[in-house]
A and B are shown apart, each in its own frame.
Chain A
């Protein structure tokens, strides 16, 4: 069964097109990264899945149920960390989770949930006094309560320090191992790159790429830079490397070679050098980050 299925999903606000014919399928059990700059339509997509917003045309389905017609059944099976949410300032952390537990009709222990997101010691304080990071943790706890089958996380790392963001990734991995599908929306690429099985990139309301991180790299034609340090080097060696298939650029700096190479040709470069009697002392690869990849997509140069 598919967890999320969008078909020709379109949303217009007056003259502005927030989403333009988005087709997307997220399979059960996947960690799907939903990537795009702010204003690309990520939150609009999630708002439609939750029936906060109604599509102009197209359909959105969650677990094969229509997002508009079967809203309640969907909400019973999902946990949501919304973007731009606000907690209830006058209620305590425990009361917040208790409310979720009662709303979903489950019997989770609120303290166990708060402990999991690291704010158990603040359980009986009013959430109005929580820091930004604690509020984010509380909201994550509320999303996790009731062991949902699908977790929708919209910019979950907002307000968290790097350690907090890493904890979120760990929680995401743990949830995934339990079989939870995770829809992870973010404009922070490193977050998505680190945990997601597949990634979709949204730009100006259009889904411009959906693939695994490696697949996207390949499709974008982004190359790996291979930095090789050798004992001795002459011009003939550099020319031999240059002549190999899959090598686009070679630059030499003393005994150091920098080779721009496609993924499959790394070994060929090292073999070619060694067969010419050159001793490779050290080498490192410098993969292009998803950041560059993402920019290459969203700026339209790819």
Chain B
């Protein structure tokens, strides 16, 4: 359980990051603001419900976790290599795998703190204003939220493990955010545009079914979609690409979001580990 020792040390270290606390404070205000907005302004939701609130908050959690994960994790491996603290860490009886696993777990724990706090506060405010609570949905929301935190921490630690330069690690992390979160809608539309013979899609019928899984590649999208799969009676969520029930294909299911999260959790960090394993420090 050597990784657990690394994870604990890493959590103690990273939880003291001022940037994390700044971000978390903003995030908490955001969640409370959203909850109040949702519950009190008619133009936002005609029939506000505790379940509706969860999905209303979900996308801001997605954005918060992706940005916070970058701030907290981009230096996790590269920074220790660059500064030389890795020399202390690896002169102790830890394998490089222990270090990677410990980092992923430790930083997930750090991300989990603001998520859980915001969730509890959001649930409290929501209950106070709406007079109703969705306990099962809230707990499931929290669990999927933690999986999502693990996914992002894993991706970012994996990227950080590929390099000994924090500048390069930062570039990789920001590049990931740009391509897979902010620009992905454009990528999907471009793919559909080409596939349709250089015609932009107008209605749901213009989207081929295989576009749906592609649209679920961004971890934030996969997170929201996972929520619709896991939380009972959840409203289907559609964005640029229609909700899955618009397609007639076995893979057009919200569970594809869970698959995407799991793939993101495993693959990048495994590749980063292989790179780290063979690196001269």
Contacts and interface: CB of A to CB of B under 8 A. Distances in A.
B196 interface: no
Interface string B3-22: 00110110011001100000
Given A52-B87, A91-B9, A91-B13, A103 B280 contact: no
Task: Give the residue among B90, B93, B95 with the most A Cβ atoms within 10 A.
Answer: B93
Contacts of B5: 99, 102-103
Instruction: From A54, A72, A86, A100, name the one whose CB has the most chain B CB atoms within 10 angstroms.
Output: A86
A82 B280 contact: no
A47 B281 contact: yes
B91 interface: yes
A54 B280 contact: yes
B88 interface: yes
Given A50-B91, A76-B93, A99-B9, A86 B281 contact: no
Q: What's the interface size class on A, roughly?
A: 20 to 34
Nearest to A139: B88
B91 A75 contact: yes
Contact of A85 (B9, B13, B85, B95): B85
B2 interface: yes
Given A47-B281, A54-B280, A90-B13, A71 B87 contact: no
Contacts of B235: none
Contacts of A100: 92
Interface in A86-104: 86-88, 90-91, 95, 99-100, 102-104
A86 B84 contact: yes
B88 A142 contact: yes
Name the residue among B5, B84, B91, B280 with the largest chain A CB count within 10 angstroms.
Answer: B91
B59 interface: no
Contacts of A75: 91-94
Contacts of B2: 103
A81 to B, nearest CB: 9
A105 B94 CA distance: 11
Given A75-B93, A76-B93, A85 B88 contact: yes
B16 to A, nearest CB: 4
A103 B13 contact: no
Given A52-B280, A76-B93, A99-B5, A82 B12 contact: no
Nearest to B4: A102
Contacts of A86: 83-85, 88
A31 interface: no
Nearest to A152: B91
B281 A52 contact: yes
A104 B90 contact: no
B92 A103 contact: yes
A102 B6 CA distance: 9
Contacts of B281: 47, 52-53
Interface string B85-104: 10110111111000000000
Given A52-B280, A104-B93, A85 B87 contact: yes
Contacts of A91: 9, 12-13
B85 A104 contact: no
Counting chain A CB atoms within 10 Å of each CB, which of B16, B87, B95, B281 scores highest?
Answer: B87
Contacts of B85: 85-88
A139 B92 CA distance: 12
Nearest to A95: B12
A51 B91 CA distance: 9
A218 B2 CA distance: 50
B93 A103 contact: yes
27 contacts: A13-B280, A52-B90, A52-B280, A53-B280, A54-B280, A72-B94, A75-B92, A75-B93, A82-B84, A82-B91, A85-B84, A86-B83, A86-B84, A87-B88, A88-B9, A90-B13, A90-B17, A91-B9, A91-B12, A95-B12, A99-B5, A99-B9, A102-B5, A102-B8, A103-B2, A103-B5, A103-B92
Given A50-B91, A52-B87, A75-B92, 8 more contacts: A13-B280, A52-B280, A54-B280, A75-B91, A75-B93, A82-B88, A84-B87, A102-B8
